[in-house]
Chains A and B, each alone.
Chain A
Amino acid sequence: MAIEVRIPTILRSHTGGAKVVEGTGDTLNDLLSDLDARHPGLRGRLVTDDGGLHRFVNVYVNDEDVRFLGALDTKLSDGDTVTILPAVAGG
Chain B
Amino acid sequence: MSIVLSIGRSILDAIVAHARRDHPDEACGVVAGAAGSDRPTRHIPMQNAARSMTFYEFDSKEYLRVWREMEERDEEPVVIYHSHTATEAYPSRTDISFAGWPEAHYLLVSTRDAERTEIRSYRIVDGVVTEEPVRVLDAPVDPHAVQSYMFGQSPASVDYECPAAS
Query: Which of B17-25, B59-67, B109-117 sits within the interface?
Result: B59-67
16 contacts between A and B (CB under 8 A): A9-B101, A10-B102, A57-B100, A58-B60, A58-B63, A58-B64, A60-B64, A63-B64, A67-B60, A85-B67, A85-B100, A88-B98, A89-B50, A89-B55, A89-B56, A90-B99
Give min CB distance, A82 to chain B, whole Å: 12
Is A51 engaged at the interface, CB distance under 8 Å to the other chain? Answer: no
Known: A60-B64, A63-B64. A87 touches B101 (CB 8 A): no
Q: How many residues of A contact B (CB 8 A)?
A: 18
Q: Which of A77-91 contact B (CB under 8 A)?
A: 83, 85-91
Nearest CB in chain B: distance from A2 CB, A: 20
Secondary structure at the B interface, as helix, strand, loop or mixed, is: mixed
Contacts of B91 in A (CB 8 A): 90
Asked if A91 and B94 sit within 8 Å, CB to CB, the answer is yes
Q: Is the CB of A90 within 8 A of B100?
A: no
Contact flag A83-B55 (CB < 8 Å), given A10-B100, A89-B98: no
The yes or no answer to A65 lying at the interface (CB within 8 A) is yes
4 nearest A-B pairs in the assembled complex, by CB-CB distance? A86-B100, A90-B95, A91-B94, A89-B57
Q: Are A83 and B58 in contact (CB under 8 A)?
A: no
Q: Please list the residues of chain A having a beta carbon within 8 angstroms of any beta carbon in chain B.
A: 8-10, 56-58, 60, 63, 65, 67, 83, 85-91
Given that A67-B60, A83-B64 are known contacts, is A91 also in contact with B93, CB under 8 Å in the complex?
Answer: yes
Q: Is B82 on the interface with A (CB-CB < 8 A)?
A: yes
Give CA–CA (A82, B99) in the complex, Å: 21
CB of B38, distance to nearest CB on chain A (Å): 14
Please determine whether B64 and A88 come into contact, CB atoms closer than 8 angstroms: no
Q: B88 contacts the other chain (Cβ, under 8 Å)?
A: no
- Are B92 and A88 in touch, CB under 8 angstroms? no
Does B28 count as interface, using CB distance less than 8 angstroms?
yes
A83–B64 Cα distance when bound, in Å, is: 9
